[in-house]
């Protein structure tokens, strides 16, 4: 009894912070036993949290020890607030976080029109535009999810706390982008995803930064438009051609990661084969014929016809489809020798000799009869 008499019985005042233990949780209120106090404490459900609460048991349970603020003194009870104590602590913490741009995690408690709500001791709001770096149509799946956030706006007088997850993501992207720029080198082969197509090429995400694959670097063959070769979202291998760290520009190539057309051609074409091709270019010394996508071989002027011709234009034209025989494939120099003449019927010997004689640029010093002898007499 002497010990009990020495315990001072408090008569709390409005605004005072008291300690209490939960003795009963009802649907719309919580009953509290306050230390050294003859009054019963009551926490209305509206004073449990800064957010809407359906059931008091969602916030506290029996025997929980709480710090509470007295908001009203009645005859035999005190009306207490857990929300007010949490808010006082929260504002100080949030102001520190705002000044330092600290990143912290919080659980999404509710999805409302225009954004998301978190409980930080005070109500924190994440506008829809500050949730992600991309457009989100439906936020319902975010409830209960934990997001990394920073405070972007705070006003205690207006009870306003604006948060952003997007800013955290953007900061991480910038850091990752810089790290990637510092680490990649020309010659690296990386995996990427085609992000968007333009008329001059394709932008490929290589892990936080986009690089450009110019249209000329999409394929070994001619490309009219990038969409003929790649599509948005496609996974591709790319080779780094150059890195401009000052301007954050990266040049990439898909073509450089693919087998060259000559290598692919070698697996399907060999010397002696007869194949069709398209005359691509005519030059003074012969014709270049495409016999495989991106691979051209030379038909020397001497291999165009058995008859003497002054220029290839006399018997061929660009775009013409011709049959050619593969004479030789030089893998080291990536050169292919072709012949059209080999596929034509050969004239008789006397005509060949006569043609060969006629095609000489300089007089040989021999008479016609001396060169072809009896063969010429037979012609006569």
As a whole number of angstroms, the distance between CA 205 and CA 246 comes to 19
Question: Which fold would CATH assign to domain 21-83?
Answer: OB fold (Dihydrolipoamide Acetyltransferase, E2P) (2.40.50)
Give strand pairing partners of 79. Answer: 42, 72
Grade residue 56 by pLDDT with cuts at 50, 70 and 90. confident
The answer regarding whether domain 261-343 maps to CATH 3.40.50.620 reads no
CATH of domain 101-169: 2.40.50.140
* Residue extents of the structural domains in the chain: 21-83, 101-169, 184-257, 261-343
Q: What is the pLDDT of residue 57?
A: 87
Mean pLDDT calculated for residue range 177-182? 88
Per-residue pLDDT tens over the stretch 246-264: 888 999 999 999 887 787 7
Q: Which residue has the tokens 């048991």?
A: 57
Grade residue 77 by pLDDT with cuts at 50, 70 and 90. confident
Q: Say yes or no to pLDDT of 17 above 70.
A: yes
Query: Which stretches within the chain are classed as H helix?
Result: 2-6, 82-100, 166-183, 261-266, 349-358, 368-379
Per-residue pLDDT tens over the stretch 190-248: 999 999 999 999 999 998 889 999 999 998 878 899 999 999 999 999 999 999 988 88
Q: Say yes or no to pLDDT of 355 above 60.
A: no
As a whole number of angstroms, the distance between CA 140 and CA 103 comes to 24
Residue 139, C-beta contacts closer than 8 angstroms, at least 6 positions apart: 111, 115, 116, 128, 131
Per-residue pLDDT tens over the stretch 24-55: 999 889 999 888 888 889 999 988 887 788 88
pTM of the model: 0.53
Q: Say yes or no to pLDDT of 372 above 50.
A: no
Q: What is the pLDDT of residue 50?
A: 78
**Which is nearest to 151 in space by CA: 122, 176, 173, 178?**
122
Per-residue pLDDT tens over the stretch 273-331: 999 999 999 999 999 999 988 889 999 999 999 989 999 999 999 999 999 999 999 98
Tell me whether the CATH fold assigned to 101-169 matches the one assigned to 184-257: yes
Question: Which fold would CATH assign to domain 184-257?
Answer: OB fold (Dihydrolipoamide Acetyltransferase, E2P) (2.40.50)
Please report, to the nearest 10 degrees, the dihedral formed by the alpha carbons of residues 65, 70, 74, 77 taken in order: 10
């Amino acid at each position: 009894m002497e010990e009990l008499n020495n315990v001072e019985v408090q008569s709390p005042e409005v605004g005072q912070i008291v300690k209490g233990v939960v003795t009963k949780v009802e649907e719309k209120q919580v009953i509290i036993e306050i230390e050294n106090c003859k009054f019963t404490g009551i926490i209305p459900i509206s004073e449990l949290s800064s957010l809407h609460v359906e059931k008091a048991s969602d916030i506290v349970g029996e025997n929980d020890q709480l710090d509470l603020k007295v908001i009203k003194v009645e005859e035999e009870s005190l009306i207490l607030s857990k929300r007010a104590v949490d808010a006082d602590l929260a504002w100080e913490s949030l102001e520190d976080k705002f000044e330092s741009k600290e990143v912290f995690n919080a659980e999404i408690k509710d999805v409302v029109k225009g954004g998301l709500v978190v409980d930080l001791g005070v109500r924190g709001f994440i506008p829809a535009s500050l949730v992600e770096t991309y457009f989100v149509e439906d936020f319902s799946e975010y409830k209960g999810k934990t997001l990394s956030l920073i405070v972007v706006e705070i006003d205690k007088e207006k009870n306003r706390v604006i948060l952003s997850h997007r800013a955290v993501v953007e900061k991480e992207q910038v850091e990752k982008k810089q790290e990637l720029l510092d680490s990649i080198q020309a010659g690296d082969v990386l995996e990427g995803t085609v992000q968007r197509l333009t008329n001059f090429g394709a932008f490929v995400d290589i892990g936080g930064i986009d690089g450009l694959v110019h249209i000329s670097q999409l394929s070994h063959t001619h490309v009219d438009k990038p969409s003929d070769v790649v599509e948005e979202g496609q996974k591709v291998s790319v080779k780094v051609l150059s890195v401009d760290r000052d301007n954050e520009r990266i040049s990439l190539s898909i073509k450089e990661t693919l087998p060259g057309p000559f290598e692919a051609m070698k697996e399907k074409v060999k010397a002696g084969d007869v194949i069709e091709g398209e005359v691509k270019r005519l030059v003074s010394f012969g014709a270049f014929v495409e016999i495989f996508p991106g691979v051209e071989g030379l038909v020397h002027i001497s291999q165009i016809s058995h008859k003497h011709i002054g220029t290839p234009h006399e018997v061929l034209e660009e775009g013409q489809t011709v049959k050619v025989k593969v004479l030789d494939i030089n893998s080291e120099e990536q050169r292919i020798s072709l012949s059209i003449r080999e596929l034509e019927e050969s004239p008789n010997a006397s005509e060949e000799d006569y043609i060969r004689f006629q095609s000489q640029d300089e007089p040989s010093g021999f008479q016609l009869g001396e060169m072809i002898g009896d063969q010429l007499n037979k012609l006569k």
